Amino acid sequence: MIDILKISNNQQTIVKPLSISGIGLHTGIDVSMKLFPAESDYGIKFIRKDLNDNNVIEAIWSNVTSTKLSTTISNKNGASVSTIEHLMSALSGLHIDNIKIEINGPEVPIMDGSSIKFVNLIDSTSIKKLDKKRKILKVKKNIKVEKDNSSVELKPNNQFSINFEIDFPSKLVSQQSCQLQLVNGNYKTDIASARTFGFEKDVDLLRSNGLALGGSLENAVVVGETKILNSDGLRFEDEFVRHKILDSIGDLYLAGSPIQGFFLGNKSGHHLNNLLLRSLFSDKNNYDYI
């Protein structure tokens, strides 16, 4: 089992291959994935096994090609994989730096709508420390991106902390805020099991546009007009904002290394998260590696 209370200064990978399968949230396609150990400085790469050539896609901010209701990365030849944010979030939360991910379809399986299935899968094996030090990306300047009434921001800080606020026109969601520091393994207890959510009134429109084809009460919290439709209710009183934090952790791990900084999200999502990384990396004076 992984002791996530102890954060290694060295890069890490898994010790043995792991397998998992499930349905894609938006495509509705059954997908299988295999996770393999990787050497130092390999990073995180997806390999589309259903494609013959040019099928390697590096999980990095500059490869993000769509942020419509999920995060999609593509290589220069057009091979892509979507809805990567929950798996990326789990890898960040468990401090996995290097891993090869083989997948036989276009979308990472949604599992139960959170990252806990990925966390438990990786937690079922051991972590291998590698021979090179982890590179930590230190934020040196305030970086802020705004659009309409939404914003994201990174500020210098001595560790990775998050403050997130949401506001939805639903009395069941409404305004929620959550601030936490990712220390002492609290990703697994406080964030990993928070599920993605949607509104019952939007389901038909989404499906008519080819989205949420694999969505169900098994893999999302569905918010009705007067009640939560899931029979088991919510896992946290503020599960909605916690899931937004889960997504942001995954999106920010596309920086290519852990971030030392304070992230503030306000009614934001995948699009602004990627714009924030693009803004961060647009000027080398904005950051340093330690």
Q: How many CB atoms lie within 10 A of CB 260?
A: 20
- CB-count exposure of residue 191 (10 Å: 0-12, 13-18, 19+): buried
Q: What share of the chain is helix, strand, coil (3-state, %, to 5)?
A: 20, 30, 45
* Residue labelled with tokens 């300047």: 141
| Residue from 74, 69, 19 nearest 51 by CA | 74
Is position 270 annotated as part of the catalytic site? yes
Torsion of the alpha carbons at 42, 81, 114 and 7, rounded to the nearest 10: 10
- Label the pairing between strands 127-133 and 56-58: unpaired
Active-site residue identified among 86, 95, 270, 271: 270
Active site residues: 270
